[in-house]
């Protein structure tokens, strides 16, 4: 049985990785409203985009009969590794600018990436919240902690924010995925965890999120771009147009992402 040390709040910090109406028709690359030619498009997207991009892909296929959208979700850095090793991606959507910049510097991006959404850290606690956490101060007041790696965008956001002079705290546990962080919280091994707002929304009623004003110091911006090696640039750009257009913005907003 897990025992909580008296007077101590245990905190786990995570790495990110986390239709009945008529579907909107994605514009073609020529912007004249025609549907893109029937084909397939492969989209590599950050794990935190799984829920909204799955819905957007369904809308895109409905708007472009005969088109197949293949989705590959993983951590942004893992996707970059796959792409640089020759994986056949048509579109890449990253959870931060750093990973997109890596592909751009390698000459693998077609054109300029488009920023399409933002995500922000929140404090995840179990629905019962036995520790009665209500603010970041409840976590930062001299409690035991450990460091967090920054390879994954959620961890990178936390790393930038934690380095600010007034942020004197360190999590007691370092996890490699959002699922692990939420598992610590729901099992009672940790009183709270730092994850994305969207991760809490996806987790349903198992956890609840506590917003804190300090999180605005480290907001992650999500860019998307077509790959230079894409064999169907028109379709890739049409998918990007749906993500960045009104249909995509509605889906992303419903998932908890900030709009751009």
Task: Please enumerate, by residue number, every residue annotated as part of a binding site for molybdate.
Answer: 48, 76, 178, 196
Tell me which H or E stretch contains 117: strand 109-119
Name the nearest CA neighbour of 13 among 152, 217, 220.
152
Question: HSE-up of 227 (CA within 13 Å, CB side)?
Answer: 25
Residues flagged as binding site: 48, 76, 178, 196
Alpha helices in 36-140 (DSSP H): 50-63, 76-84, 97-105, 137-140
Backbone angles phi, psi at 42, to 5 degrees: -110, 125
Of 151, 118, 126, residue with least CA distance to 48? 118
Q: For tokens 């610590």, what's the residue?
A: 184
**What tokens appear for 29 in the block?**
């690359």
């Amino acid at each position: 049985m897990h025992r909580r040390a008296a007077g101590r709040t245990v905190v786990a910090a995570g790495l990110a990785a986390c239709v009945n109406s008529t579907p909107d028709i994605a514009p073609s690359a020529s912007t004249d409203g025609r549907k893109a030619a029937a084909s397939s498009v492969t989209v590599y997207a950050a794990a935190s985009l799984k829920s909204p991009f799955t819905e957007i892909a369904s809308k895109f296929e409905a708007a472009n009969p005969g088109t197949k959208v293949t989705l590959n979700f993983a951590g942004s850095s893992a996707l970059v590794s796959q792409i640089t090793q020759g994986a056949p991606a048509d579109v890449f959507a990253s959870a931060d600018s750093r990973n997109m910049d890596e592909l751009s510097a390698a000459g693998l991006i077609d054109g300029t990436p488009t920023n399409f959404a933002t995500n922000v850290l929140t404090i995840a606690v179990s629905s019962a919240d036995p520790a009665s956490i209500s603010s970041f101060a409840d976590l930062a007041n001299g409690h035991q902690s450990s460091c967090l790696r920054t390879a994954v965008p959620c961890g990178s956001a936390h790393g930038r924010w934690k380095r600010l002079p007034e942020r004197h705290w360190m999590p007691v546990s370092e996890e490699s995925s959002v699922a692990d962080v939420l598992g610590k919280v729901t099992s009672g091994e940790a009183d709270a965890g730092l994850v994305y707002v969207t991760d809490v929304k996806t987790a349903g009623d198992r956890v609840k999120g506590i917003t804190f004003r300090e999180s605005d110091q480290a907001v992650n911006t999500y860019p998307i771009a077509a790959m230079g090696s894409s064999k169907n640039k028109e379709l890739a750009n049409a998918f990007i147009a749906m993500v960045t257009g009104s249909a995509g913005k509605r889906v992303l907003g419903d998932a908890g992402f900030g709009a751009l």
